Amino acid sequence: MDVGNRKSARKFSAPRPGEGVICAPFINHYLLTCESQGIPRERMLATAGVAENELNPPDAWVQQSVVERLFHARLQLWPDPTLGLRFAAAMEPAKAGMLGFMTLSCPSILELHETLRDFGGLVSNIFSTGLLHQPGRVLWTIDFLYTDATIKRHSTEWVLAAFATLTNRLDPHALYEVHMSHAPVLVEGRPHPDYAAAFSCPVKFNQATSAVVLDPHSLNKPSPNGDPFVYETLCQQARLLLEQLGSGSNIADRVRREIRVLLAAGHVSRDEVCRRIGISNRHLHRQLQLQGCSYQTLLDELRIESARQQLAKPDCDLDRVSAELGFSSIKSFSRWFAAKQGATPAEFRRMSRGRAYSADLRVPAD
């Protein structure tokens, strides 16, 4: 079975102990989830001794030490022996950024694994995944680089529960059992009932590795809940994002990344971009001005890029393209495109097809 890196995505190098990072939008989503469970953001930060600027650094990556302080503050304010399982049930993948959208559109379980392996760097470099083949089964393994045993246990249970849910969405018969390398939380001498609630299969503890155990025949089985077209489009965007991560980041780069994610999802707005970055509209305007650009300039830049890519495809549907780019009608999209491109969408499509036809012509050999 080929489980090679078909996407050729760049990977983060493994950090030294204690020097990992997690993307700021994911941490802000974590804090929103805590608020929905009754713990205000201000109280969390005060208890953890974390300042707002530590959650929104210029490069958009929150240091591992900050994450650990937030996690311990959450447990201090609301002790919960199965916190990771509770977060897995509460968090929505689509709110976890590009990686979340990709997991929801994966056409198969194998591609779900590849997505987390190859594009996990969009969220963090604190974890690693793998596939371990054994007779009659395959283990999808997860390992966190936390040295704190409590945080590692909660994080492992969180991700295993989320992966099991996504796996069941793709194929409800694929999951055999779940392995955890740590001991269970006990209630009256038995594993906590939250484990049974989180997993629709047997859970074994004190195993050699933490993993979900899968039917090997299910890995490449196409799922009716996946969307190959959306998935490949998101993969293209994810590669661009990973390339940008390798060349530094500033506020304009961060805005571009969030606009790409939201355009791929079919709904983009300035307010949502600000929410995901964690700054106000006014602050965003001032910061972009200092860099000689504006939100509208960046939005138009990425809209025209996406429009060109989609219009060049033979099965392009103008209704869908205009809606995904945030236009109220084909007419308004056509006017905007013509002003930016110097040609209407229909004219651009004809020119693209003409270029493609010319490129396919071959001179016969003598």
Domains of the chain (ranges, CATH numbers): 21-218 (3.90.1520.10), 250-360 (1.10.10.60)
Q: What are the tens digits of pLDDT across the range 51-78? A: 998 998 877 889 999 999 999 999 999 9
CA distance 96 to 33: 12
- Tokens of residue 284, six digits: 């965003």
Largest CA distance in the chain: 86
| Residue 269: predicted pLDDT | 87
Q: Which residue has the higher pLDDT, 268 or 171?
A: 171
Helices assigned H by DSSP within 37-90: 41-48, 52-55, 64-77, 83-90
Q: Which residue has the higher pLDDT, 176 or 329?
A: 176
Calculate mean pLDDT across residues 173-182.
96
Strand, helix or coil at 34?
helix
Q: Which of 2-16, 17-31, 167-181, 197-211 has the lowest mean pLDDT?
A: 2-16
Q: What are the tens digits of pLDDT across the range 128-145? A: 888 888 888 999 999 998
Question: pLDDT exceeding 90 applies to what percent of the chain?
Answer: 36
* Average pLDDT, rounded, for the chain: 83
| Residue 315: predicted pLDDT | 77
Calculate mean pLDDT across residues 187-200.
94
CA distance 37 to 78: 10
pLDDT score of 122 more than 50: yes
| Residue 199: predicted pLDDT | 94
pLDDT score of 259 more than 50: yes
- Say if residues 125 and 15 touch (Cβ distance below 8 Å): yes
Q: Which residue has the higher pLDDT, 8 or 186?
A: 186
The contacts of residue 93 (CB under 8 Å, 6+ apart) are 100, 101, 103, 104, 162, 166
| Residue 33: predicted pLDDT | 86
| Residue 342: predicted pLDDT | 83
- How do strand 186-187 and strand 211-214 relate by DSSP bridges? unpaired
The contacts of residue 303 (CB under 8 Å, 6+ apart) are 263, 325, 326, 336
| Residue 159: predicted pLDDT | 94
Calculate mean pLDDT across residues 12-41.
81
Calculate mean pLDDT across residues 281-286.
84
| Residue 164: predicted pLDDT | 94
Q: What are the tens digits of pLDDT across the range 238-251? A: 877 776 665 444 67
Calculate mean pLDDT across residues 341-352.
81
pLDDT band at 4, cuts 50/70/90?
A: very low
| Residue 13: predicted pLDDT | 52
| Residue 90: predicted pLDDT | 83
Question: pLDDT exceeding 70 applies to what percent of the chain?
Answer: 88
